[in-house]
Structure formats: structure tokens, C-alpha cells
Amino acid sequence: MFSLRCISCGSEESIDEIVYRCRRCNDLLEVQLDLERAKERVDKREWSSKPLSVWKYIGLIPVFDKSKIVTIGEGGTGLHRCDNLAEELGVKNLYVKNEGENPTGSFKDRGMTIGVTKARELNVSEVACASTGNTAASLAAYSAKARLRCMILIPHGAIALGKLAQAMIYGAKVIEIKGNFDDALSMVLDASKSLGLYLLNSINPFRIEGQKTAAFEICDQLGWHAPDRLVIPIGNAGNITAYWKGFKEFYELGLIKGLPMMTGVQASGSSPIIRAIKEGKKTIQPVKDPRTIASAIRIGRPVNWKRAMIAIRESDGKGETVTDEEIISAQRLLARKEGLFVEPASASSIAGLKKLIELGEIDREEEIVCVATGHGLKDPDSAIEYCEEPILIEPDLKILREVIEGVVIKV
Ligand code: F0G
């Protein structure tokens, strides 16, 4: 039903062993679904009686021992129709898939419920990841639930406060690296080999298997079709890879008729993939010192770059970069038009869409889904910094009236 296959040379590896890279050419591995056998396991009628969740699609996920499942209620996030925002941007059909509604507040929980279940199937006792914050929060939570020891490597001083608090309260061992995310990732890759830690970054193919369920849910929520376009932030590029895999599997299983144009967005100070797309290059040029206010996607050497480029090119999609100012203003716009508070990295999908519309690169009739990857409360500092300050007054009704009527009062 499932096998592990190299994304470059096609060599197969055992799905029951701990292996992240092809032993022949060292490229990444991907879970391969046997479509004919999968078709027998897909029952749309049975699905229709089940609530949305990652585990609704268990027939298409490589989990073999149901007694090992580690779950805290992931998936089933809202696909919000955003008419106010659509009107502002001048498009007809706009939705936001709000992944901040997951248990730890980001899409990472979809990957971790599968990844940590796999860790239990493989009988490991220690798990690890490098992170810009959300992977850390999620892995810490799921490993706590699974009673596994958890090691987190984060770039010192470079992750949002809420995410750090989460990793700490869930009881992970948090190690700060005096370097950036790319340094932390290369250290944890080495450490996983030499210290025998089970690695749960998106190099782990089972993470992608959980995350692909967001694409399944979108089709399910739209009434069994894919949107014309999916707009998604890119960091380490696991998520765009997962969505594309999910849409393609539904398409190949005959569950949907078309595929979306995959539209990736990176912050302009941290955009190796989009630059390569725009310049028509085959490979990326890593960014040594990535910079952006969106700390979640401050990544200069994305491990899944190859698959992100395949997703964009194969789907006839696009790539766009956005500045910090554009990200902050999109974050505010989404909050004020739709009541959705998302973190800066998530708002980059809205910023990217706005830019592409203004550049005339998107047909205004399209049905568009923007992915909002993480909750705004993860990073309250950036929201507070860029909003108007609260007005401080004495407890006096006369002053309150003057403030409400717009008279400027200084205390
Ligand atoms: N949005 C948020 C909120 C994220 O946390 C991330 C990645 C992304 C977008 C990009 O997703 O890496 O799959 O392309 N965060 C990782 C982390 C790197 O460590 O939490 P991607």
C-alpha cells in the first residue's frame, strides 16, 4: 500500500526503518501511495458521516498500528469565506484556511500527529527538531502526550515569545543555538545520526503525510473540488510540498477533477526559492543571512526547495516576494476585515495575493484559497509594535466622553 521512494533517483527504502535520505543519491524520500489499492480504501460515503480531522483520511496515511496513535484533536480547521477582504482586494471568491485553529496554533500539528505516531511505531524514545518556533511547540506537545523525550534546537533570540513559552511549558529540552535556523537544522541533522534521535523536521516523510490532509480538507470543504489557486507561505518548504502531494493524490484517485495553481510566497529578505522561480533557475542560491519580521519563515537554505519548485512549476503556479511592510499591513487587513488574527508569516500569503492582483497577474474571477499557517497570539510583540497604542485616561466620565467624541486628551 505504501513505500518510501527517493524524489530524485526513484530508489526504494524500507518504510519500517528509520531513514530520511536515499542511500544511493542522498536526496529526500517521499511516501508513495499505491493508487489502485488506495482506491479500494476510499469511501466518500463513509467520509461524509465523519467530522473533518487529519484522521478522517486514515486510509491514505501510512500508519499501521492504530493502538499507537497520538492525537490531541488536529485538523478540521475552518475554511473561511472572506467576502470583506475579497471586496477590498477586488476578487470574487476568496477563502482563508485558518490553520491557527489547530491544538498548538499552527499547521505543524497535522504533521506531528503522524510523525509522533510513527515514532511510537518505530519504538524510539527520543525525538528532536530544529525550529523557528511552531515545529518546536508542536513536537513538544505531541511528545509530551506520547511520553517521549523531546529535544528542541532554536536560533537564539529569533523565535516569537508565544512559541518559546509553548515549547517550555510542554516540558521539552530547549537548546538555543548562537546562529540562525539553518545552523540549528544542520546541527540537529548531525545530532540525529550521532546521538540516535528521531528527527521530526519536514525532512521526515511522515510529517508531509500528515500535512497533506489540509489539501484533502479544502477539497472536502469546497464540495469535492480544488480551488483554482492556493496561496501559501514558504519557509523550509515542507508545507507547499505536502499540499501539492495531497491535491495530486485526490486528483489521481478521481476524487477531484482539477488541480490548483500553487502560488508560493516568501519574505523578500529570505526568498531563495522565489528568486530561483522568477529567474527560471534549476537550483536555489541559499541566502546566508536571511532577514524578515516573519521569524517563522526566516530560512535561507530550505531543505524541501526542490519539491517546492516542482509544485509551483508543475501546477503552472507563481511565486512572489513580500516586504515586511507588506506583511504587517496584510496582517492588519485580515484582522480588521475578517476577524482573523494570524502571525506575520501567515499574513504573507495575503500580502502575496494582494501584490499579484495589483500586478495584474491573477484573474479576478478565480476561486482562491490563502493558507494562514499560524495563530496571531504566537507573536503578540509584532502586533503590538505596529498598532495604535491604547489611550490611557483617568477614571473620569467627562474625559471618556471627550475621547469617544474625538477630542485629543493627553494624560
Ligand atoms: N508559516 C508558519 C507560521 C510557520 O511556522 C512555517 C514554518 C511556515 C509558514 C513555512 O512552512 O517551512 O513548511 O515551508 N515553520 C517551521 C518551524 C520552519 O520550525 O516552525 P514550511
Number of domain units in the chain: 2
Q: Would 265 be classed as within a structural domain? A: yes
d(CA 106, ligand 1 centre) in Å: 9
CA distances from 366 to 152, 228, 263, 357 (A): 41, 6, 13, 11
Q: Decide whether any atom of ligand 1 lies within 6 Å of the 239 Cβ.
A: yes
Do 345 and 260 lie in one domain? The reply is yes
Q: Looking at the CA of residue 132, tell me the nearest atom of ligand 1.
A: 19
Percent of the chain with pLDDT over 90: 96
Q: Are 243 and 211 in contact (CB under 8 A)?
A: yes
Q: How far is the CA of 296 from the centre of ligand 1 (A)?
A: 5
> Looking at the structure, do residues 101 and 3 belong to the same domain, yes or no?
no
CB of 111 within 6 A of ligand 1: the answer is no
Nearest residue to 295 via CA among 122, 158, 111, 121: 158
How far away, in angstroms, is 235 Cα from ligand 1 center? 5
Interval 269-302: pLDDT, tens: 999 999 999 999 999 999 999 999 999 999 999 9
In a domain, 15, yes or no: yes
Rg (alpha carbons) of the chain, rounded to whole number: 21
* DSSP labels, 328-344: HHHHHHHHHHHS--B-H
Write b or e for each residue in 167-181: b if 16 or more Cβ atoms lie within 10 A of its Cβ, otherwise e. beebebebbebeebb
- CB of 106 within 6 A of ligand 1: the answer is yes
pLDDT of residue 410: 47
What is the pLDDT confidence band of residue 43, given thresholds at 50, 70 and 90?
confident
Q: Is 297 in the pocket of ligand 1 (CB under 6 A)?
A: yes
Rounded CA-CA distance 289/269 in Å is 9
Q: Does 311 share its domain with 235?
A: yes
Residue of the CA atom closest to atom 11 of ligand 1: 235
Residue 97 lies in a domain: yes
Asked whether 166 lines ligand 1 (CB < 6 A), one says no
The CA distance from 102 to 90, in Å, is 30
Q: What is the pLDDT of residues 332-391, one digit of tens each?
A: 999 999 999 999 999 999 999 999 999 999 999 999 999 999 999 999 999 999 999 999
The Å distance, Cα 153 to ligand 1 centre, comes to 15
Answer whether residue 172 is part of any domain: no
Assess if residue 66 is contained within a domain.
Answer: no
Question: Which residues constitute the domain of residue 320?
Answer: 79-106+207-385
Our answer on whether the CB atom of 104 is closer than 6 Å to any ligand 1 atom is: no
Same domain (yes/no): 300, 372: yes
133: DSSP letter: S
The reply to whether ligand 1 has any atom less than 6 angstroms from the CB of 93 is no
Are residues 260 and 331 located together in one domain of the fold?
yes
Q: Per-residue pLDDT for 41 more than 90?
A: no
Residue of 98, 107, 134 to test ligand 1 pocket, by largest number of atoms within 8 Å of CB? 134
Which ligand 1 atom is at minimum distance from the Cα of 138?
Answer: 20
Answer whether residue 411 shows pLDDT above 50.
no
- Spatial CA neighbour of 31 closest among 47, 20, 42, 43: 20
One domain for residues 22 and 89: no
Q: How far apart are CA 152 and CA 62, in angstroms?
A: 25
**Mean pLDDT, rounded, for 165-178:** 98
**Residue 395: inside a domain, yes or no?**
no
User: Both 94 and 18 in a single domain?
Assistant: no
Of 100 and 410, the structure prediction assigns the larger pLDDT to 100
Residue 409 has pLDDT above 80, yes or no: no
**For a pLDDT cut of 70, what percent of the chain falls above it?**
99
Supply the CATH number for residue 243's domain. 3.40.50.1100
Nearest residue to 84 (alpha-carbon basis) of 333, 385, 401, 374: 333
Domain for residue 339, yes or no? Answer: yes
Q: State yes or no: pLDDT of 180 exceeds 60.
A: yes
- pTM over 0.95? The answer is yes
pLDDT digit string, tens, across residues 197-255: 999 999 999 999 999 999 999 999 999 999 999 999 999 999 999 999 999 999 999 99
Residue 357 and residue 303 share a domain? yes
Do the domain assignments include residue 268?
yes
CA 119 from centre of chain: 21
Grid coordinates given for 107 = 499547521
| Per-residue pLDDT tens digits for 148-166 | 999 999 999 999 999 999 9
Residue 109 C-alpha to ligand 1 middle, in angstroms? 12
Examine the domain organization and report whether 244 and 327 are in the same domain. Answer: yes
Q: Which atom of ligand 1 is found nearest the CA of 130?
A: 19
Q: What pLDDT score does 408 carry? A: 56
Does the CB atom of residue 133 touch ligand 1 within 6 A? yes
Q: Is the pLDDT of residue 407 over 70?
A: no
Is any atom of ligand 1 closer than 6 Å to the C-beta of 211? Answer: no
77, 112, 129, 132, best to mutate for ligand 1 pocket (most atoms within 8 Å of CB):
132
Which residue is closest in CA terms to ligand 1's atom 6?
296
Q: How far is the CA of 251 from the centre of ligand 1 (A)?
A: 26
Q: Is 234 in the pocket of ligand 1 (CB under 6 A)?
A: yes
State the distance from the centre of ligand 1 to the C-alpha of 137, rounded, in angstroms. 12
- Both 2 and 102 in a single domain? no
